[in-house]
Amino acid sequence: MFTKIVLPVDLTDKHQPALDAAARLAEQGGGSVTLLHVVEVIPGLPMEEEGTFYGRLERLARSQLQQLGKSLEERKVSWSVEVRFGKRAAETVRYAAETAADLLIVTAPPVDPAHPAAGVQSMSFTVGMLSPCPVLVVK
């Protein structure tokens, strides 16, 4: 059913459940998974002037994504890596639209019972609202 799955990740270790879900869905449908990382561009620190800085962040991201991809490879799931620059939610939605993704899988932030509304400011919430394709939120 889902053949073009996009999994946006940051460089933390919280994405394993989402990675497992992406692998299972890709296995079932013969699909592929794109591991997407968006390097947040810092206002006032343009890419043109700080190419060395942003280049270092891109290399770090690619290295981390390659490590995540190894678990997909072990499961014989086709995968690729994409690194973009900009605002995380906007670039994730733009990438999904540009590539005609079938599914976005996002990791939800933990819910603080004392402040449950804080989650509406998360990337997963924003992507879920703006995505051109279905979104699976993994807790």
Sign of the CA dihedral 10, 16, 20, 21? Answer: negative
Sheet holding 32-40, edge to edge: 78-86, 32-40, 4-8, 103-107, 135-138
What is the reported pTM? 0.92
Task: Compute the half-sphere exposure of residue 23: CA atoms within 13 Å on the CB side of its CA.
Answer: 16
- The domain 4-138: what is its CATH number? 3.40.50.620
DSSP state, 78? E
Backbone angles phi, psi at 28, to 5 degrees: -65, -40
- Per-residue pLDDT tens, the chain, 139 aa: give them: 899 999 999 989 899 999 999 999 999 989 999 999 999 998 888 788 888 899 999 999 999 999 999 999 999 999 999 999 999 999 999 999 999 999 999 998 887 788 777 667 788 989 999 999 999 999 8
d(CA 82, CA 74): 20
Burial readout 42-74 (b: 16 or more C-beta within 10 A, e: otherwise): eeeeeeeeeeeebeebbeebeebbeebbeebee
DSSP state, 38? E
Q: Where are the alpha helices (DSSP H) in 1-139?
A: 16-29, 51-74, 88-98, 123-130
